[in-house]
Structure 1
Amino acid sequence: MKKILIVDDEFDMRQLLRLYLQQESYLVEDAEDGRKACDKIEKDDFDLIILDVMMPIMDGWKTLKNIRGISEVPVIMLTAKGSVQDKVTGLTIGADDYLVKPFDEAELMARVKALLRRAQSNFKNDEVLKYKGLVLNLSAREVTYQGSIIHLTQTEFDLLRVFIEHMGKVLTREQLVELIWGIEFMGEDRTVDSHIKNLREKLKAAGIDHSLVKTVWGIGYKVE
């Protein structure tokens, strides 16, 4: 059974999310602030985290940064702010998806199931992909370059995998969304740009040519 952590300072919201998730037979734990959430994540393994942005003590942005320091667990951000910049901020820090309050139960559950399905399919895949010194272990979800580990989020890892699997082919944003999130994804395809920016920065920090993932203007992206 999949275990999901809800992080939100509002008791009623935690209870509502718990109800939705338990109806789908997920194991659920919750935390009322970012500090308690990070303590739980250090002590236990979770398959997914639903994280609110506007919280006292430690807001969602800072909590996400701390989470990414200890875990690559998939994270869905909940925000009352619907601006593009807020969405970009969450994706840049390392969120895998976002949802604006108030949200529909069906949409939330579709996103939860999509992220969990991606993680499960990747876990079952034992292949290893190699490209110009990069080694992707698909079962361990681990990327190394010249023997050193590159820490990627689930979405960044999936992007790199898809590019290498489709080497030489230009992929549009719409194709990347379908390959990674699935056709049920209800976000914006510009979400891809934020994740690719993060991926490029991490590859560059590891000593890899920043142009590994090339922009094909007006179309999309590709790896030669």
Structure 2
Amino acid sequence: MPGSSARPALARGAGQRLLIVAGDPDVAELLSTTLELAGYRVVAVAAANDGMALLARERFDLAVVDATLPDVSELGRTRPALARRPPVLLLIDYDSLDRIVPELGLGERDYVTKPFRVADILVRVQILLRGTGANPARSGALSYRDLVLDDTLCEARRGPRALDLTPAEYRLLRHLLVNAHRVLSKEQIGRYVWGDHRGGNAIEQLVSRLRRKVDQDAPGLIHTRRGFGYWLGRADTDA
């Protein structure tokens, strides 16, 4: 199971410009330091209104916003015009999930719950940037280390080796890849792959077939968290 420490090798940037909006100085410093070490350029402000003013004047590839700031709710009502609406990663309290995402007027959104792991921040930032073209990775492709899944061609590769996947295996791999370093339950996997919950044996057999193809003659990326589900990542460096 992944540990609580982050290693920038999980999800490195290529100079993309990120805006951090966090009122807690410790949170702002942690995020700024982590993201800068991971290869991003970071600007941090303490108030949501200041962040929106910056977005109206300057170009950012992504914004990380603490949704618990008192002035975040104002943004849904003011909605100043932005020349470019970057994706936003929200930091929220777990008990606020039922009223998640005030209408920020930004682009694509994702969230992590507080207290968060910096490893999750790095992964979610990378995934959001892929959708904007700001990430140098090829458009339409998801990747983790030498594992690449190309949605445009519906193909998967592990290094130079093509993976001959069935449609169900492809959907499972995509779900694991998009949620790298997150444990997915059998119910979550079944609903994503087949649209309904399947018995445990069906999912175990599907995971086993996919693992044989992905991890053949290479460090294992697909792992079991007994009693909880499955996750994708490098256990030797992320545990």
TM-score normalised per structure 1: 0.51
Letter in 2 for 1:97: D
Instruction: Determine the structure 1 residue equivalent to 2:178.
Output: 182
Q: Which of structures 1 and 2 has the bigger CA Rg?
A: 2
Given candidates 15, 24, 36, the residue that maps to 1:22 is 36
Letter in 2 for 1:63: L
Paired position in structure 2 for 1:10: 24
| Partner of residue 87, structure 1 | 100
Q: For residues 72-105 of structure 1, give each alpha carbon's deviation from its aligned partner in whole angstroms, at most 9, with x where no partner exists.
A: 3100100123444133667998661011111111
Mind listing any 5+ residue stretches in structure 1 that lack a counterpart? Answer: 126-137, 139-161, 190-217
> Quick one: which amino acid aligns to residue 62 of structure 1?
E
AA matched with 1:184: A
Q: Tell me the distance in 2 between the aligned counterparts of 1:219 and 1:91.
A: 31
Counterpart of 1:50 (choices 64, 69, 75) is 64
- 1:73 partner amino acid: P
Is 1:177–1:183's contact at 8 Å kept on the other side of the alignment? Answer: no
Instruction: For residue 12 of structure 1, report the CA deviation from its aligned partner.
Output: 1.2
**What secondary structure sits across from 1:4 in the alignment?**
strand
Q: Tell me how many residue pairs correspond in the alignment.
A: 149
Greater RCO (CA < 8 Å, at least 6 residues apart) = 2
Matched residue of 1:35: which SS? helix
CA RMSD in angstroms, aligned pairs only: 4.2
- Structure 1 runs (4+) deviating above 4 angstroms are 64-69, 88-95, 121-125, 174-177, 185-189
In 2: Cα distance, 1:54 partner to 1:41 partner: 19
Cα deviation code 1:93-133 (max 9, x no counterpart): 866101111111111101111111222279976xxxxxxxx
Displacement, 1:10?
Answer: 1.0
| Corresponding residue of 2:51 | 37
1:54 CA displacement = 1.5
Letter in 2 for 1:85: D
TM-score (norm. length: structure 2): 0.49
Determine if the alignment matches structure 1 residue 62 to structure 2 residue 80: no
Q: Is the 8 A contact 1:52 1:78 kept in 2?
A: yes
Considering fraction of residues, name the structure with more helix. Answer: 1
- The letter of the residue matching 1:100 is T
Q: Are 1:105 and 2:118 counterparts? A: yes
CA distance in 1, matches of 2:75, 2:132: 22
Secondary structure in 1 aligned to 2:63?
Answer: strand
Q: Say if 2:21 and 2:63, in contact at 8 Å, map to a contact too.
A: yes
